[in-house]
Amino acid sequence: MTMPTRFKEPAGTIVEAPPKVKRKALARREVGRSIPRLESHAKVTGTAEYIYHLRLPGMLYGKICRSTVPHGRIVRIDTSAALALEGVQAVITAEDIRTVIFDPYYGPAFHDQPILAIDKVRFVGEPVAVVLAKDVHVAEEAADLVVVEYEPLDPVFDEVAAAKPGAPVIHDILRPAGMFPDLQHLKGKAGSNVALEARVLRGNVEKGFTEAAEIFENVFRSGKVIHATFEPMVSLAELNGSNGLTIHTSSQSPSFVRAEICRLLGWPENRVRVRTAFLGGGFGAKLYIKLEALVAACTLLVRKPVRIGLTMEEQFYTITKHGATVRIKTGVAKDGRIVAREVETWWNGGAYADIGPRVTQKSGFTAAGPYDIENVSLINYAVYTNDPPAGALRGFGISQLVWAYECQNDIIARSLGIDPLEFRRRNVLRDGRPHATGTIMTNAEIDDVLDQLAARMDWDRPFDHGSGTVRRGRGLAIGFKAAISPTTSVAIVNIYGDGSICLSISTVDMGQGSDTAMAQIAAETLGISAETVRVIHPDTDVTPYDMATLGSRSTYHMGNAVRLAAEDASAQLLRIAATALQANKEELEFRDGEIVSLTGIRMTIGDVMRARFGMQAGNVIGMGTFTPPYSKVDLRTGQSTQITPFWMLAGAAAEIEVDTETGRIRVTKLVNVGDVGCAINPGIAKRQLIGAGIMQLGFSLFEEMKFNEGQVINASFADYKIPGMLDIPADLSAGLVEVPHEHGPYGAKGVGETGMFSVSPAISNALYDAVGVRMMEMPITSERVLRAIRESKNRPLEKD
């Protein structure tokens, strides 16, 4: 007897060739227009739907009892006092979870994170138990009554120390998740905190250094910061019929949530429904699984709807950006050309991997910067520590790397006496040249970015550096990112009996304006007005698969899927109309929301539907699926012929004032330029650049999570300041470089993260220009700046 052969996808194949942009003679009507956002009215009246506000009949509120030690064995959990509090319905621990989910570990890269702590805790704030009650205040009070006894273990917090042999081991074993194609190579591991070591090798870096005229070596650090989404993370679960579950969640990745919950439960995907609404911010915090598995397990245990919504404080214990240590060594020739660059990066992933391994390898391979360098060696370590887990934050690690290579480039340029802008012009990676991974750079307008930056800064004009105690400086930086690959988006255009149109997609509008942009793409394709398109929010029972809303991938991936779906629907409508009009399909076209024949006969889309179904009835459904090509990475060398569907190029420049007596930096001008392909909605695209720039301004100057033995000690807006109106530069602008990407939907590519990349080194380079001090660690707080200024004058301040 032979076993049936299971279908297996061949590794590293090209899944589907991307469609080429058709260049129509007709002027575009919908794409390229800065139309007001579709949800404007709902947002200004306070009626926009957020899951945080959802109340289900009969639901229980869950409050989490969290670990108080950074690393320890759980000796005993005593829930009796919590259970005794009037109104408490249940106190749930890992033991209970295991009665409904046998193997309750989750994660997109490794199955390393328990739904509630099992045997051991690995960071302060880790969920250990959940109290359920009808009254949220009762649940909160009872969560404090759960007594947990720990046997402390040695913790490790620093990423470089944690990667060394002999460091306390945080996970005894590691099990790879095996879900995503780009993470298939992760291996089970034991005895080390290094979850992944990713390498890119090109040329011969040692030889390059021997040939260099000068060598520079520096270490740059970035601290931990947090997304601080204003709608805190929240998930609700309820039973759906006799064998299903519905999860309402403020998530950027409903399709992943469904798959992961079903894997945990051993259910087929059609038994779990996951829906989202508008998100009150995402920025990468609400990706993969956060609270969804916990509410699902609670609901299965108590057979009632359960809601767990975090407070702002709790978000600080849930997911952060990676802290990173970057050692960067660069060899340059006499003429200022970079001939060799070696970068070693330790990524502080915290206690659970979350998506850290992807941050490590995907951003890691860009660590040499957007430069044409013959000899490159990049090594990236994803490291476990006893900090809260680190994951994606608007850029997947890019800004930590740009911080290093752009600060160092400034050091090099100044040391060689070359203008910083000119130094970059001599070294940038231009179209047609291979990147360190071997992938050829295409559709990346780096020179245009530099030109626009220079023009907006009047870079060639003399600059007033101030005098007395207030000094002025200016600096610039460029950065880039590869989009995630390979991933899939599916879209459905649904035409109703009256001719009105819905777009069903699982892209999550978390503030970036995807509803509007996707409606514009559908409308452009169908020759209708974007304002008439209704976008159905993600509901896995209704909207088709999408990998996730992350990594600036939606405009390109979902945008292409939407265009294909709209083309499919329009082809069907034209066929029906041709039959009705007894005309050739080719003689018909969409114009102003109607189908018009050569002879001037017009049919509305509603007329077409009535022609097909004999009355206002039926549906015409257009489908679009998009998966860009990808070529698997050689794990030894990091080489790939097609590592990304598109590159995102960015540049920022800043003018600052520094008070030399206080160290305070005031950014007076900030310019952010992004290569966006063609903007679907230029207003929204610019706002993405501006908003990201403001967020990164906070990360650059003052945002930093402070820890004491693993305990976050500034987990509140009272102590962790984010940018407000008074922090915004008076002169703040964004520039779009618009050259159509040949495979983008109407030439577009992603923009959500672009504005983050270059801001920090631009400010730090401006600081050097102003007062001649070089900052090696982010954020560049007033205190750090003042210490550096005083040290440079041989009058150091006392240490704390």
Contact 470, 659 (CB under 8 A): yes
- AA letter at 761: P
Report the site for another protein in 112-141 (rule: CB under 8 A).
Answer: 137
Residue 46 engages another protein in binding (rule: CB under 8 A): yes
Q: Which residues lie across from 581 on neighbouring strands?
A: none
d(CA 159, CA 222): 11
Residue 86 engages another protein in binding (rule: CB under 8 A): no
**Binder among 229, 385, 487, 488 for another protein (CB under 8 A):** 229
Nearer to another protein, 694 or 789 (CB): 694
Nearer to another protein, 538 or 628 (CB): 538
Q: For 157, phi and psi rounded to 5 degrees?
A: -115, -30
Contact 763, 399 (CB under 8 A): no
Residue 716 engages another protein in binding (rule: CB under 8 A): yes
**Binder among 693, 710, 747, 761 for another protein (CB under 8 A):** 693
d(CA 363, CA 399): 9
Residue 44 engages another protein in binding (rule: CB under 8 A): yes
Report the site for another protein in 137-176 (rule: CB under 8 A).
Answer: 137
Residue 717 engages another protein in binding (rule: CB under 8 A): yes
The minimum distance between CB 725 and another protein, in angstroms, equals 4
Contact 139, 88 (CB under 8 A): yes
The minimum distance between CB 306 and another protein, in angstroms, equals 18
Catalytic residue numbers, as ranges: 753
d(CA 790, CA 384): 36
CA trace torsion 411, 414, 416, 420 (10° rounding): 100
Residue 470 engages another protein in binding (rule: CB under 8 A): no
The pattern of x and - marking residues 2 through 41 that bind another protein according to CB under 8 A reads ----------------------------------xx-xxx
Residue 56 engages another protein in binding (rule: CB under 8 A): no
**Binder among 232, 369, 397, 475 for another protein (CB under 8 A):** 232
CA trace torsion 407, 408, 412, 418 (10° rounding): -30
d(CA 674, CA 689): 7
Residue 722 engages another protein in binding (rule: CB under 8 A): yes
Contacts of 378 (CB under 8 A, 6+ apart): 198, 199, 200, 201, 342, 343, 344, 345, 364, 365, 367, 368, 436, 638
The minimum distance between CB 244 and another protein, in angstroms, equals 27
Residue 278 engages another protein in binding (rule: CB under 8 A): yes
Stretch of 49-57, 264-272, 473-481, 633-641 lying at the interface with another protein (CB under 8 A): 49-57
Residue 102 engages another protein in binding (rule: CB under 8 A): no
Residue 433 engages another protein in binding (rule: CB under 8 A): no
Using alpha carbons, list the distances in angstroms from residue 96 to 138, 309, 462: 21, 21, 69
Residue 287 engages another protein in binding (rule: CB under 8 A): no
How many of the other CB atoms lie within 10 Å of CB of 33? Answer: 17
Q: Name the nearest CA neighbour of 741 among 648, 639, 632, 631.
A: 648
Residue 469 engages another protein in binding (rule: CB under 8 A): no
The minimum distance between CB 313 and another protein, in angstroms, equals 7
Nearer to another protein, 157 or 720 (CB): 720
Q: What is the 3-state secondary structure (H, E, C) of 714-775?
A: CCCCCCCCCCCHHHCCCEEEEEEECCCCCCCHHHECCCCCHHHCCHHHHHHHHHHHHHCCCC
Q: Name the nearest CA neighbour of 251 among 238, 239, 265, 234.
A: 234
Residue 718 engages another protein in binding (rule: CB under 8 A): yes
Q: Is 362 helix (H, G, I), strand (E, B) or coil?
A: helix
Residue 61 engages another protein in binding (rule: CB under 8 A): no
Using alpha carbons, list the distances in angstroms from residue 508 to 375, 470, 531, 549: 41, 45, 18, 6
Residue 657 engages another protein in binding (rule: CB under 8 A): no
Report the site for another protein in 293-332 (rule: CB under 8 A).
Answer: 311-313
d(CA 65, CA 88): 14
Size of the site for another protein (CB under 8 A): 54
Report the site for another protein in 725-744 (rule: CB under 8 A).
Answer: 725-726, 728, 730, 732
Residue 279 engages another protein in binding (rule: CB under 8 A): yes
Say which residue the tokens 């040391």 belong to.
415
Residue 682 engages another protein in binding (rule: CB under 8 A): no
Q: For 563, phi and psi rounded to 5 degrees?
A: -60, -45
Stretch of 224-232, 413-421, 479-487, 610-618 lying at the interface with another protein (CB under 8 A): 224-232
Contacts of 468 (CB under 8 A, 6+ apart): none
Residue 724 engages another protein in binding (rule: CB under 8 A): yes
User: Cis (ω within 30 of 0) for the bond into 434?
Assistant: no
The minimum distance between CB 172 and another protein, in angstroms, equals 37
**Binder among 87, 230, 455, 584 for another protein (CB under 8 A):** 230
Residue 510 engages another protein in binding (rule: CB under 8 A): yes
The minimum distance between CB 507 and another protein, in angstroms, equals 14
The minimum distance between CB 720 and another protein, in angstroms, equals 10
Residue 1 engages another protein in binding (rule: CB under 8 A): no
Residue 66 engages another protein in binding (rule: CB under 8 A): no
Helices (H), 582-643: 605-613
Residue 692 engages another protein in binding (rule: CB under 8 A): yes
**Binder among 548, 695, 778, 788 for another protein (CB under 8 A):** 695
Q: Name the nearest CA neighbour of 636 among 165, 202, 187.
A: 202
Stretch of 108-116, 629-637, 703-711, 717-725 lying at the interface with another protein (CB under 8 A): 717-725
**Binder among 14, 53, 217, 602 for another protein (CB under 8 A):** 53
Residue 58 engages another protein in binding (rule: CB under 8 A): no
The minimum distance between CB 65 and another protein, in angstroms, equals 19
Q: How far is CA 164 from the centre of its chain?
A: 29
Residue 280 engages another protein in binding (rule: CB under 8 A): yes
Q: For 685, phi and psi rounded to 5 degrees?
A: -60, -45
Contact residues: another protein, CB under 8 A: 36-37, 39-48, 50, 52-53, 137, 227-232, 278-281, 283, 311-313, 510-513, 683-684, 687, 690-695, 716-718, 722-726, 728, 730, 732
